[in-house]
Amino acid sequence: MKIGYPCVNESLDCTSTSTFRLASYSDERLELTVRNNLRCLLRILEFNVAQGMLFFRIGSGIVPFGSHPVNTFPWQTHFAAEFREVGDYIKAHNMRVSFHPDQFVVLNSPDAGIVERSIAELVYQGSMLDLMGLDSTHKLQIHVGGLYGDRELAITRFIDTYRRLPAAVTARLVIENDDRLFSLQDCLRVHAAVDIPILFDNFHHECLNHGEPMAEALQLAASTWHPERDGTMMMDYSSQAVGERKGKHTSSLIEELFREFLTHLQGVNPDIMLEIKDKEISARRAVAILHELGLASPAPQSLPI
């Protein structure tokens, strides 16, 4: 099992998702920003390896306006060596990475323009994994999308659109159960139609479910991943922030709840993304717990600092 956290490292003095306003776009500025973002990404990965955190969600903003028509800079070829360097580092240290395209990627929208832009964004993010030389075990994670007042139609539209996606996207695309609209059961129906893996979110499942116990839900989600093609199951982990709005992530890892969650794995072997506000601080604590329980993968080269 690998532990990770999303997008932002709060310990380092750099960011891998630096961007700028569309109005101030220039090729020069794009070139500079991408260069700095990739350099920082490598630093974050090095930090993570030193702490035993081998899973990381790369922010969508590595290449600002990566799928926007304003950006005609040939960043794929211009930064081929830098992307390759990052990918080589990931492979050399047995790391796993993912992307989570933001809420504007809606494959089941009835608006053809939204679908078109969504696909372009998925192609952009998938192409970064290609440039890194990473295989289809590194994933692009999205939600099913909107309801539009008709769940059946919404699911059907997702399936129809999925079947039209380029192979470079479908090889890596996974769907995540969400906390309000599309449950694990809904995702399983999409999976049954097109064989897409389900990225399980324990907290969302607590917010929206059909009574499946956690252990059963984990088994169901795990069964949608083909080890050869997809690698081991990915999941997002969080818990409710005490005293806050329902669905709000906790600000730091609550160890008792995390340990309790681990008892439901029962043979399931997920890589776990901690969606917790304090990022690498909690991730480090989770790594220590896995080491203590003998669940960390691979065996630590050195104990966490």
Q: Which residues bind DNA (CB under 7 A)?
A: 6-8, 10, 15, 17-24, 59-61, 64-68, 100, 102-106, 109-111, 114, 117, 121, 145-149, 179-181, 245, 247-249, 275, 277
Residue 25 CB, nearest distance to DNA (Å)? 8
When the beta carbons of 193 and 207 are compared against DNA, the nearer one is 207
CB of 288 to DNA, least distance (A): 22
Q: Closest approach of Cβ 54 to DNA, in Å?
A: 19
How many angstroms separate the CA atoms of 44 and 29, rounded?
22
First to last CA, the chain: 19
8 or 295, CB closer to DNA? 8
Least distance CB 243 / DNA (angstroms)? 13
Of 107, 122, 9, 21, nearest to 64 by C-alpha is 21
Q: Which of 106/233 has CB closer to DNA?
A: 106
User: Cα(48)–Cα(209) distance, rounded to whole angstroms?
Assistant: 33
- Give the nearer residue to DNA in terms of CB position, either 23 or 299: 23
Nearer to DNA, 15 or 239 (CB): 15
In the complex, what is the shortest distance from the CB of residue 28 to DNA, in angstroms, rounded to a whole number?
Answer: 13
* Cα 149 from Cα 6, distance rounded (Å): 32
Residue 98: CB minimum distance to DNA, A:
11
Q: Which is nearer to DNA, 104 or 259 (CB)?
A: 104
Closest distance to DNA from the beta carbon of 201 (Å)? 8
Q: Where are the beta strands (DSSP E) in 148-286?
A: 173-176, 198-201, 234-237, 271-274
Is the Cβ of residue 106 or residue 265 nearer to DNA in the bound state?
Answer: 106
Nearest approach, Cβ of 88 to DNA (angstroms)? Answer: 25
- Neighbouring-strand partners of residue 198: 175
- Give the dihedral sign, CA 126/127/128/130: positive
Neighbours of 257 (CB within 10 A): 15
CB of 235 to DNA, least distance (A): 13
- The Cα 101–Cα 7 span in angstroms is 11
Q: Which of 44, 74, 76, 78 is nearest to 59 (CA)?
A: 44
> How many other CB atoms sit within 10 Å of the CB of residue 208?
18
- Nearer residue to DNA within complex by CB, 149 or 243: 149
> Residue 145 and residue 108: Cα distance in Å, rounded?
6
Q: Which two tokens stand for residue 219?
A: 């088994």
* Paired tokens of 16: 């891998």
Omega prior to 298 cis, within 30 of 0: yes
Question: CA 296, CA 14: separation in Å to the nearest integer?
Answer: 28
For DNA, give the closer residue by CB, 104 or 229. 104
